Amino acid sequence: MKSKFIYNSILCIGLSFLLGCGLKVGNLDVGKLASAGKGVLTGNKLSLKEQKVIGEQMTAIIVGSSKIHQNVELQRYVNRVGQWVAMHANPETEKGVNTEWQFIVIDTPDFNAFSMPGGYVVISSGVIDRLSSEAELAGVLAHEIVHVEQKHQVRAIEKSKTYSNVGDLAFLAADHYQTEKHGGYDQDSLKNRKIASNLFNATHNLYTKGIGREDELDADEKAVVLMARAGYDPYAYLSMMQIVESIDDNRKTLILATHPKAKDRIHVAFNAISHIENYVSGTKVVEQRFLRQVQ
């Protein structure tokens, strides 16, 4: 264990030196975030502070290697919905450290949404484009909020017995950024187009390979309850899952590739709704506001 701690400390120090304080991937300073993690990773169990550091790093890498949606009003809208739903969750707390929720829309037609420790949630425009109400959007965000609340990804990281993947991802992000900065990909590039693919594959392995079927179904079950607490019609979660079921497999990138079958998830969510039926009548779907914001 002592040797692992020394290795992780060296990794973080080296990462900070190589990336430098000024290197930005997109609009986020990966070097700064890597430096923030120096000396924080301490063992097999992640404190909330450690979770936040890893979440910051991963968010910088993912968002920096994607195209952030340029519609500022859409970003604000998704954040308002996400913050409202998150207010009704019960995330872990520690003295002096709280979960600070952030919701980010990336511009890609792929159907994708995922969360990272510390309260970071990323959703693709490909998801939003396929939804028809605010309640469905709240359902997607609630699922990811539950993952953070229940520490599903954190347990996956802890089970991996190594945090070196965080450093590997940061190096990949830096390579990807620098390659694009200097004129894009060419035949002489050692990394070429596989850089972006490797980045997302590594993220996939870190955050989804260790997340089992039971964790995904747990998030489905608890998400409908969270939706109802926030005042959204939980039946919208079922309609959202029907959308997932109808999507072309080629558009189900990263997270959905490892999720249980949609019909199984719908079954779990429906059973959860049956236990809160008395609270459903006062909930809303909110279609018109959603359509005004996304069109």
157-199 pLDDT tens trace: 777 655 555 555 455 555 555 555 565 544 444 443 454 455 4
Q: pTM of the predicted model, to two decimals?
A: 0.75
pLDDT at 65: 67
60-78 pLDDT tens trace: 767 776 789 999 999 999 9
233, 203 in Cβ contact below 8 A?
no
Tally of domains in the chain: 1
Mean pLDDT is lowest, of 3-7, 73-77, 85-89, 188-192, for: 3-7
Mean pLDDT over 213-241 rounds to 95
Domain that holds residue 65: 2-294
Question: Which residue, 50, 61, 113, is CA-closest to 247?
Answer: 113
